[in-house]
Amino acid sequence: MSSAKVLLHTKDESLRREAVDALRESSQQIPFEQHDSDWTNLLEHLGKTKPEVLLLDLTAVPTDLSVAMRQIKIHSPRTKVIALHPVEDPKIILSAMRAGVNEFLHPPLEDSLPAALDQILSSAESDPGTSTRGKIIGFLSAKGGCGATTIACHVSWELQNQTRKRVLLADLDLTSGLVGFLMKTPSSYSILDAVKNLARLDESLWKALIVENRPNLSVIPAPASYSRWDHPDENQLKQVLQFMRTQHDWIVLDLGRSLNSIATAVLDEIDQLFLVSTLEVVALHGLKSIVHGLFDQGEKLQLILNRTPKLMDISTQELEKILGRSLYAALPNDYMGLYQSYSSGNLLNSNTRLAQHFGLLASKIAGLPPAKAKKKFALFG
C-alpha cells in the first residue's frame, strides 16, 4: 500500500504540471503520487491505497460526476476529493459541489492547492470519526446442514443487542435464501439488486434495498430465485461489501457451504471468517480440507464446532490436533428448541442454553465482557 497521502489523477497536461509544481514547492512537503491510467484502474488503485485526498481533474472523469463520486466512495469511503478544472465556471463548480466533492480549485494553484490540502488533512486528523469503518465477519459451513445460517442469524441479533451498533445481516448463500425466512424479513430486493445497481448505489438506495428487522438490525436477503446466469461479478460484489462498511458498524455474512465461489471472491474483504462444522465425519473432512486451503489466512480463520454432544467420543485436544487449529467456540445441540422457535416464527428464547452460548460467542467476537447468563457456559479459546 502506498504511503502517499495525496493521489493526483489528471488528463489536462498543463493542469497536471501546475498541480505537481504546487505540491513540490509547498512548505508542507506532502507525499503525493501520480496516477495516469484509465478510470477503472484508478478505482482499483483507490481501493488498494486508500489515499486521504484525491486531486481529480474533472476532464478525466469518463461518466457523470455524481456517479463517479459514488464509485470513489465505494472504493475508498474516507478519501476526500478536490476537483481540479482548467477554468473557473460557476455551472461546473455548482455541479461538482452537488456531486459531493470537498473542494473545487482552478489555476493558479500555487497558493490555493496547499491551503486546501492543509485544511482537509488537518480536519481529518482531528476528526475521530474518520477512522471508523464497519467490520465484516462471515460464517461458512464445512458442508450443508452444519448450522452456519442459524449461527449468523443469532450472532447478528446478539451483536446489535450487546453493542447497540448498526448491524447488517447479509445472505450471500444465493441458492438457499434461508436468512430471509428465519429472520422473517420478506423482501422484493436482494444482494443482487445492490450489485446490479452499483453505479447509482448511495445511502438512499441502500435503505430501500435492506429490511429493518428491528432498530439498528437490518437484513439484505438472497434472491427469491437464482440461476447461474445471475451470478454476480466478483469485483462488483467486493465493491458492495466496501459500501456496506460505510453504512453499518457490523456486517455479518452467511456464506453458505464449502469453499464456494462467492466465499472465495469476498475473502479478502472479510475481517474474520468462522468455519462451522459438526462432529460428523463428512463435515470434519470438509472442514479440514477448507482449513488446508485457507492456511495462509492465519488468525482471520476461526473454527466453530456446532451441535456438540454432552459426551464426545473425541477430546477437544485430539480434535484440535487433527485439524491443526484451536477451536474458537463449541456450541451445544438444541435441535428441538430451534425447531420449535422457527415453527413459531422466532429466534431462540434468550433464556435457553444454546441462546446463551450464542450470546457468549457474540461477546467474544465483539471483544466485550461475556454476556450475563443464568448459568455459566464456557467457550474454547
pLDDT tens for each residue of 137-191: 999 999 989 999 999 999 999 999 999 999 999 999 988 889 988 998 888 899 9
Same domain as 110, residue 167: no
Confidence label for 132 from pLDDT (cuts 50, 70 and 90): low
Q: Do 349 and 264 fall into the same domain?
A: yes
Q: How far is CA 327 from CA 274, 287, 299, in A?
A: 10, 12, 12
CA dist list (Å): 226 to 181, 237, 256, 257:
16, 16, 14, 16
Structure pTM?
A: 0.71
Give how many domains the chain has, as a whole number: 2
CB-based contact 213:170 (threshold 8 Å) = no
CA–CA separation, 92 vs 112, rounded Å? 18
49, 175: one domain: no
Quote the CA–CA distance of 66 and 73 in Å, as a whole number.
11
pLDDT at 235 over 90: no
pLDDT of residue 293: 85
pLDDT at 29: 74
Residue at which a domain ends, from 130, 147, 177: 130
Does residue 168 sit in the same domain as residue 269?
yes
Is residue 28 domain-resident? yes
Q: What does the pLDDT read at residue 241?
A: 93
pLDDT of residue 172: 95
Residue 59 CA to residue 11 CA, distance in Å, equals 6
**Do residues 176 and 221 lie in contact, with contact meaning Cβ atoms separated by under 8 Å?**
no
Q: Last residue of some domain: 113, 130, 147?
A: 130
Q: How many angstroms separate the CA atoms of 190 and 205, rounded?
A: 12
The pLDDT score that the predictor gives to residue 53 is 93
Q: Which residues, 6+ apart, have CB-to-CB distance to 191 below 8 Å?
A: 170, 171, 172, 174, 220, 221, 222, 223, 232, 240
Q: Are residues 118 and 145 in the same domain?
A: no
Q: Which residues pair with 332 in a beta bridge?
A: 308
**Strands 211-214 vs 217-220: parallel, antiparallel or unpaired:** antiparallel
pLDDT band at 372 (very low <50, low <70, confident <90, very high): low
Query: Where is the domain boundary, 112, 130, 148?
Result: 130
- Do 146 and 89 have their domain in common? no
Give the DSSP H or E segment for 22. Answer: helix 13-25
Closest to 294 measured CA to CA, from 316, 278, 270: 270
Task: Confirm whether 289 is domain-assigned.
Answer: yes
- Residue given cell 457456559 in the structure block: 377
124/146 same-domain check: no
Residues 237 and 249 in one domain: yes
What CA–CA distances, in Å, run from 251 to 96, 269, 298? 32, 11, 21
Domain that holds residue 254: 134-366
113/265 Cα distance (integer angstroms): 39
Tell me 185's DSSP state. -
Q: What is the pLDDT of residues 31-83, one digit of tens each?
A: 889 988 889 899 888 888 889 999 999 999 988 888 888 888 878 888 999 99
For the chain, give the percent of residues with pLDDT over 90.
44
Beta bridge partners of 254: 139, 171
**In a shared domain, residues 329 and 354:** yes
Predicted confidence at residue 376, as pLDDT, reads 47
Contact 347, 154 (CB under 8 A): yes
| Residues, the chain | 381
Per-residue confidence (pLDDT) for residue 273, from 0 to 100: 96
My answer on whether 123 and 149 are in the same domain is no
User: Coil, strand or helix: which one is 272?
Assistant: strand
CATH number of residue 285's parent domain: 3.40.50.300
